[in-house]
């Protein structure tokens, strides 16, 4: 008999001794891998209308033995223990695929993406394919098996949530086509091509306003190149949307980290693609693309990509030469193209 079965039997026995009830309740929380705070949030999402703080304090008092375990709470944790057992069985029936070190699967119109993180932990992301709705991420899981089970539980909660803000509205959105890393690259190429034409590099007679717009386009094209790699290596698009406040260099470093964590030996030549020398006018400049961008972004708001599209920001950082960022964006787009050309999903 495993720990879950023992807790299930103990809960069914409904012990009258308060200490036994507390011990069994604590064991159940460990089995379902929920802290009082996370359990309270889950209960609220599933229909408990009490304030979150009230639910949390009640669970904390029961877990510490300060108050008796209510009959309702015994029912809830017993159902959750059984739910976890069923989720573990569902995991074995799914067909799992691996891209690098990222694990993916699909079930009930949802896609599951499990990405390795530091110290052996796993990030869980699930997305409802018809609507692109993605429930909130759970905490990182301590093992791949736990991550798979947690993904199934996230899907169950999303399908049965009672809060219309969490489930009804997102699921009513019109169907959107899936976005791929290639889509990101196509947009990046087009954007940087427009930047090159706007700069009028050959005649060097672009206006200051045209140059400002072109630099902003090249900065965004470079960011799209990094995002293309992340999407292709398994990052859900929803995750990237949550990183929109990250600067360009952060996104590029995240793409490098994703390549390194993929464990694919074919990608090793691209694991530090920002550390190559920038090539402008057919000649290598000193340093690396990463160092150049770091120097550029260190100039503050005037160098941020969004600044180049704001009419109320007349001053902007001008790279030297003026088309340097356009050339570097082309290099980054080419690196992303090579990465996507190397990896074939399994």
Q: What is the arithmetic mean of pLDDT over 307-328?
A: 80
Position 324 pLDDT exceeds 80? yes
pLDDT at residue 205, rounded to an integer: 79
Both 321 and 238 in one domain: the answer is: yes
Both 334 and 302 in one domain: the answer is: yes
- On the 0-12 / 13-18 / 19+ scale of CB atoms within 10 A, 242 is exposed
Position 225 pLDDT exceeds 90? yes
pLDDT at residue 157, rounded to an integer: 79
92 within a domain of the structure (yes/no): no
pLDDT at residue 1, rounded to an integer: 46
What is the domain extent for residue 154? 97-171
d(CA 265, CA 67): 56
d(CA 145, CA 227): 28
d(CA 64, CA 235): 39
Instruction: Report residue 19's pLDDT band, with 50, 70 and 90 as the boundaries.
Output: confident
Both 129 and 60 in one domain: the answer is: no
Instruction: Report residue 148's pLDDT band, with 50, 70 and 90 as the boundaries.
Output: very high
For the chain, the average pLDDT equals 80
pLDDT at residue 72, rounded to an integer: 83
Percent of the chain residues topping a pLDDT of 70: 86
Domain count, the chain: 3
The per-residue pLDDT for range 283-314, each reduced to its tens digit, is 887 789 988 888 888 887 777 777 788 777 66
Instruction: Report residue 172's pLDDT band, with 50, 70 and 90 as the boundaries.
Output: very low
pLDDT at residue 129, rounded to an integer: 76
Q: Nearest CA to 50 among 73, 82, 18, 80? A: 73
d(CA 147, CA 152): 9
The more confident residue out of 334 and 108 is 334
Residue 249's contacts (CB-CB under 8 Å, 6 or more residues apart) are 274, 290, 293, 294, 297
Q: Nearest CA to 264 among 101, 105, 122? A: 101
Position 170 pLDDT exceeds 50? no
65 in Cβ contact with 76 (< 8 Å)? no
pLDDT at residue 37, rounded to an integer: 82
90 within a domain of the structure (yes/no): no
Both 195 and 323 in one domain: the answer is: yes
pTM flag (> 0.85): no
Q: What is the arithmetic mean of pLDDT over 58-87?
A: 87
Both 203 and 275 in one domain: the answer is: yes
176 within a domain of the structure (yes/no): no
Instruction: Kindly report which listed range (62-66, 225-229, 333-337) carries the lowest average pLDDT score.
Output: 62-66
Instruction: Report residue 219's pLDDT band, with 50, 70 and 90 as the boundaries.
Output: very high
Both 322 and 286 in one domain: the answer is: yes
Q: 10 Å Cβ neighbour count for 50?
A: 12
């Amino acid at each position: 008999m495993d720990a879950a079965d023992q807790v299930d039997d103990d809960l069914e026995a409904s012990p009258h001794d308060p200490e036994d009830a507390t011990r069994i309740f604590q064991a159940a929380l460990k089995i379902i891998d929920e802290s009082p705070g996370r359990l309270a949030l889950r209960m609220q999402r599933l229909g408990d209308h009490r304030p979150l703080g009230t639910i949390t304090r009640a669970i904390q008092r029961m877990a510490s033995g300060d108050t008796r375990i209510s009959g309702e709470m015994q029912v809830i944790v017993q159902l959750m223990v059984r739910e976890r057992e069923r989720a573990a069985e569902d995991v074995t029936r799914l067909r799992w695929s691996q891209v690098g070190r990222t694990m993916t699967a699909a079930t009930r119109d949802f896609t599951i993406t499990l990405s390795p993180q530091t110290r052996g932990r796993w990030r869980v992301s699930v997305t409802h394919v018809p609507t692109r709705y993605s429930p909130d991420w759970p905490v990182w899981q301590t093992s791949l098996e736990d991550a798979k089970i947690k993904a199934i539980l996230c899907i169950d909660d999303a399908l049965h949530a009672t809060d219309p803000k969490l489930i009804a509205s997102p699921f009513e959105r019109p169907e959107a086509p899936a976005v791929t890393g290639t889509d990101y690259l196509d947009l990046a190429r087009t954007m940087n091509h427009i930047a090159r034409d706007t700069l009028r590099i050959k005649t060097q007679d672009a206006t200051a306003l045209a140059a400002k717009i072109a630099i902003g386009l090249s900065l965004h094209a470079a960011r799209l190149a990094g995002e293309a790699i992340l999407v292709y290596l398994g990052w859900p698009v929803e995750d990237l949307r949550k990183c929109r406040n990250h600067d360009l260099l952060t996104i590029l470093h995240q793409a490098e980290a994703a390549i390194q964590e993929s464990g694919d030996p074919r990608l090793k030549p691209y694991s530090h693609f920002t550390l190559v020398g920038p090539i402008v006018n057919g000649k290598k400049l000193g340093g690396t693309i990463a160092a150049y961008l770091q120097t550029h972004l260190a100039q503050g708001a005037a160098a941020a990509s969004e600044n180049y599209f704001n009419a109320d920001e007349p001053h902007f950082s001008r790279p030297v030469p003026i088309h340097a960022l356009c050339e570097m964006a082309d290099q980054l787009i080419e690196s992303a193209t090579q990465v996507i050309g190397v990896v074939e999903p399994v």
